[in-house]
Amino acid sequence: MTTLISRIRITALLCSISFSSLSALAGETKDAGGGGAMENRIEIKDFAFNPQTLKVKSGEKITWVNRDEEPHTIVSVEKQFKKSSALDTDQEFTITAGPPGTYTYYCSVHPKMTGTIVVEK
């Protein structure tokens, strides 16, 4: 009986530990989003833009970061923003979202890589 009770106690203790570390993580995420200008990040990995479609508000910044070993570029199909140079591994490219609309873009090195930004008011 004592072993059962101590087991329950240990389980409860473990639960409270993992719960508090979870809420600590949630707190961090909240802090990162709440401070100053919103940052919208798109990761380039395994020849894909992630997220594939990103919703932002006009005037917000969008940053791409290349996590591949291959160089990639970001080129607006309708020239809605300046095109990037070829990004090396871990290199970033930032634009500021212009007027509302749908911005499609691709990688000029690998034209099958495409992504979309939906800019809202």
Least distance between Cu ion and beta carbon 49 (Å): 9
Question: How far, in Å, CA of 44 to CA of 70, rounded?
Answer: 10
Question: How far, in Å, CA of 41 to CA of 65, rounded?
Answer: 7
Q: Of 16 and 52, which has the nearer Cβ to Cu ion?
A: 52
Q: Of 30 and 45, which has the nearer Cβ to Cu ion?
A: 45
Least distance between Cu ion and beta carbon 72 (Å): 3
Which residues of this protein are in contact with Cu ion, per CB under 5 A? 72, 107, 109-110, 113
Q: Of 54 and 107, which has the nearer Cβ to Cu ion?
A: 107
Least distance between Cu ion and beta carbon 51 (Å): 17
Query: Does residue 99 come out as left (phi exceeding 0), alpha (psi in the -120 to 50 range) or beta?
Result: beta
- 20 CB burial (10 A radius; 0-12, 13-18, 19+): exposed
